[in-house]
Structure 1
Amino acid sequence: MSKRILWFLAALVLLATVGTYVSFLEDTSDVNDGAAEAALPIVSYVYAQPSDNVGYISVFAEVRPRWKADLKARVSGTLLSVSPKALEGRQVTEGLVMAQLDQRIYEAQLDNARYQRASAEFNLKKKQNKHLLAVKNWNALHPGKQPPEMAVHIPELRVAEKALQAEVARVEVAQYDLDSTSIKAPFSGFVTKRHLSVGQSISAGDTLFTLLDAEQLDITVSLDQKQWDLLEKEWQDKPARIFNEAKELIGLAQIQQGGGFLDPVSRRYQLFLEVLNTPEMTVLPGEFVTVQLQSTVIKDSLKLPASSLTQEGYIWFLDQRDELQRFEASIVSRNDTQITVKMPEVLRNQEELRFVHLPMAAFLPGQHVTPTPAGH
């Protein structure tokens, strides 16, 4: 019996020890869970103060060449040569002879026109001499009297003068036809298409080249009423900035005209810009770009990071108790990095303006958080 009692007492002691250890673990777990529940989410913020800000209006547009021409033959003839500088994809300068037609027919026509002009000049001199001789004879026979035109051959003289004028014009036309056998670039640009081959018979009106201007580029942008009202009206001193698809600055443009009418289809304002030729310009004709126009001064506004705006259009801020609050943003202008919004009435009486840098979808108004400056 004594051994059984001893074993029983030992079992009781072991049971009490295990129970005490389990109770200790439960107390520790409760403390840890309570501490985890008490930990507040960390929220990064940025400071901002209302001020008069200058924003930007960003619109998409296409860069277009000012000149695009299908060069057509004005005269007919056999194509003798094409300049190696006028092949497809090559850049040509204004006045470059791109192709040459056979000139012999037009040289003969020019020589004939010059001959006819010389004959008309000779005939005019004969009529002038005849007129002077008739005037002398008339004055000798009828001193002090005005001679009739027929008596002194004035009509013949006028006909000879008109004939000479016609022959002079004919020489100019023949010279123009001869010059037209040399197909010259009317402006500097790129040859995008060649429609002819050496030895080909060309007729007047045939398309020879398609030429695209690469030096004078234009952009037309479309603005709605709100954007038009925000646009800086001092255009001359505020060139627009041009960005490519990679958001890289590739050039500047000067506003030339705009606002005189609404597009009949979109009912939006049209703004016409000329791309400035600068050494840093890399704008290409046909390129789709983002045009950034400077707005007027936006009074009493906030400039915030673009990341502070939620998909629903809200901006979260921290009040004096480090609790989350939000307001619906009235965006005045925006770009990829910043937004400019009107100062909301809910923040008028708040001394320190702290705006959430990266808002989360799980945020709730009145939620208590641990604020930390953005970047820390």
Structure 2
Amino acid sequence: MGRLLRATLPIAILIGGGALFFLLSSMRAAPQRVDRVDLGPLVQTLDDKAGTHQVIVWAQGAVRPDREIDLVSQVTGVVQWISPELESGGFFAAGELLARIDPEDYELSLQQVRAEVERNRYLLQLEHGEAEIARLEWDRVHPGVEADPLVLRIPQVRAAEATLRASEARQREGELRLERTQIRAPFHGRVRTASVDAGQYVGIGRAIARIYSIEKAEILVPISDEELAWIDVPSPLESPASVGTQDPEESETHPPVTITARYAGREHRWQGRVVRTEGELDPRSRMAHLVIEVSDPYRRVAALQSPQSATQASGSAARAQESDKHDAAPLMVGLFCDIEIRGRVLQNVIELPRGAIHASDQVWTVTPAGQLRIHNADVVRTSRDKGLVRLSLADGERVIVSQLKGVTHGMQVRIAGESAQEARR
């Protein structure tokens, strides 16, 4: 009996477990069937309407002075004195004395000429007296008879007048030579190089320094013909009066420019204007060269024009104090800059990221129902990271800016930020 129980007990347990499993399985409810909805890929969109946009043209260029000359001596002699500012990097005001040549020889020569002028004035007066005596004598001896000019000493008077005029011209020449022993600055500027020192002998036409103006600076910007079309460059056919007398900083015909460059470890910005193009295209690159003008690039013109600095011999201390009041960094000659030129204004265009334009002229949009549409847009202009297009959009239609693969017209997409219920609707 015990042996039979041990043999049948495992079989009974297995049968009971199987029956219990079958019972529990038959009691479990069947899972609810849910239809799968394809919501499509997730996309970022741009809700931007057509409007007015200004074209921005990017370029690069280096700063150069608008005027640069050799400062030369107009007389010969020994350099007696030079200004402390007459060294590389020195600043000076218009009319400031930069060097003086020993004037003694010219002073002595001028004294001699002045004495000659006084003598010739005396001789002229003497001739006038002699002529008057001759006229009176002729009228007494030959009343009513016309006298010969030689008798009345008219040629002698004219010769004395000519001699006086010649001596007065030599006097003026001597005064000019004496004045030119003082070499003065022709404009507000800075010294690039100096090549003379006190005690040195110089001749006529000898360059004593290379100087440039700091009243204005120029940036020469090479630009392609395609980019030039977007800039309202002042026409070379404008009348000389309008070009030469109008201040570029106040003219609406000169496109404004923002200049960016790094100086002293920091990024700085300056404002300028496009004033003209150079006289020819580059023969190798076939590119035009725009000339951008910046007023007072060193922020020193106001200080140089002040009466206090103008009365000082060197003026360097006063200029340094005045310059410290300006927060803007100087636009140094030779600085390489990034140029942002504000060009023409376009109407009825949409500004898109460059990546939203596909296959050169296709734009993807999404309808309120979540369907993707492929449009052939009128691409007006593309730049480094932006594009301007003309595109007709239906109400609620938005431009897709995401990058997708396997795009087809009418495919379902989801707009980022919408819930699943909104996407299904």
TM-score in terms of structure 2 length: 0.67
**1:263 and 2:307 correspond:** no
2:205 counterpart SS class = coil
Give 2:333's match in structure 1, choosing from 259, 262, 285: 285
Q: Are residues 324 and 90 of structure 1, via their aligned partners in 2, closer, same or farther at CA, if it must alter by over 3 Å? A: farther
Give 2:407's match in structure 1, choosing from 356, 359, 365: 365
Contact 1:322 1:371 in 2 (8 A): no
Partner of 1:213: 213
Give 1:249's match in structure 2, choosing from 257, 262, 269: 269
Residue type of the alignment partner of 2:163:
A
Deviation per CA, 1:34-70: give whole Å up to 9, x if none: x9xx796543222222223332333434433221011
Partner of 1:332: 381
Give 1:274's match in structure 2, choosing from 293, 296, 319: 293
Any unmatched runs of 5+ in structure 1? 11-34
Q: Which moved more, 1:113-122 or 1:219-228?
A: 219-228
Give 2:365's match in structure 1, choosing from 318, 343, 353: 318
Residue type of the alignment partner of 1:330:
V
Partner of 1:137: 137
Deviation per CA, 1:4-58: give whole Å up to 9, x if none: 9999999xxxxxxxxxxxxxxxxxxxxxxxx9xx796543222222223332333
Deviation at 1:219, TM superposition (A): 4.2
Contact 1:223 1:269 in 2 (8 A): yes
Deviation at 1:343, TM superposition (A): 1.0
Deviation at 1:232, TM superposition (A): 4.1
Deviation at 1:282, TM superposition (A): 4.4
Partner of 1:14: none
Residue type of the alignment partner of 2:252:
D
Q: Which moved more, 1:234-243 or 1:177-186?
A: 234-243
Percent of paired sites with the same residue: 19
Residue type of the alignment partner of 1:332:
R
Give 1:295's match in structure 2, choosing from 329, 343, 346: 343
1:85 counterpart SS class = coil
Q: Are residues 44 and 102 of structure 1, via their aligned partners in 2, closer, same or farther at CA, if it must alter by over 3 Å? A: same
Contact 1:94 1:188 in 2 (8 A): yes
Residue type of the alignment partner of 2:69:
A
Deviation at 1:160, TM superposition (A): 1.3
Q: Which moved more, 1:135-144 or 1:317-326?
A: 317-326
Deviation per CA, 1:133-157: give whole Å up to 9, x if none: 2222222233334332211111111
* Residues 184-195 of structure 1 mapped to structure 2, 5 A cutoff: 184-195=184-195
Deviation at 1:189, TM superposition (A): 0.8
Q: Are residues 349 and 200 of structure 1, via their aligned partners in 2, closer, same or farther at CA, if it must alter by over 3 Å? A: closer
**1:174 and 2:190 correspond:** no
Deviation at 1:326, TM superposition (A): 7.0
Q: Which moved more, 1:84-93 or 1:270-279?
A: 270-279
Q: Which moved more, 1:267-276 or 1:91-100?
A: 267-276
Task: Report how many residues are paired.
Answer: 342
Q: Are residues 212 and 141 of structure 1, via their aligned partners in 2, closer, same or farther at CA, if it must alter by over 3 Å? A: same
Partner of 1:102: 102
Deviation per CA, 1:306-340: give whole Å up to 9, x if none: 56467x7566533323547475772436476xx35
Contact 1:56 1:333 in 2 (8 A): no
Deviation at 1:210, TM superposition (A): 0.8
2:179 counterpart SS class = helix
**1:237 and 2:284 correspond:** no
Residue type of the alignment partner of 1:204:
I
Cα distance in 1 between the residues matched to 2:7 and 2:257 = 98
* Residues 148-167 of structure 1 mapped to structure 2, 5 A cutoff: 148-167=148-167
Deviation per CA, 1:155-189: give whole Å up to 9, x if none: 11111111111111111111111122222111111
Deviation per CA, 1:245-267: give whole Å up to 9, x if none: 368531232x54569x7537366
Cα distance in 1 between the residues matched to 2:330 and 2:87 = 23
Contact 2:194 2:210 in 1 (8 A): yes
Partner of 1:87: 87
Cα distance in 1 between the residues matched to 2:10 and 2:126 = 161
Deviation at 1:240, TM superposition (A): 0.9
Any unmatched runs of 5+ in structure 2? 14-35, 235-247, 300-325, 418-425
Q: Are residues 79 and 315 of structure 1, via their aligned partners in 2, closer, same or farther at CA, if it must alter by over 3 Å? A: farther
Cα distance in 2 between the residues matched to 1:185 and 1:262 = 32
Cα distance in 2 between the residues matched to 1:80 and 1:127 = 45
1:341 counterpart SS class = strand
Q: Tell me how large the CA RMSD over aligned residues is.
A: 4.0
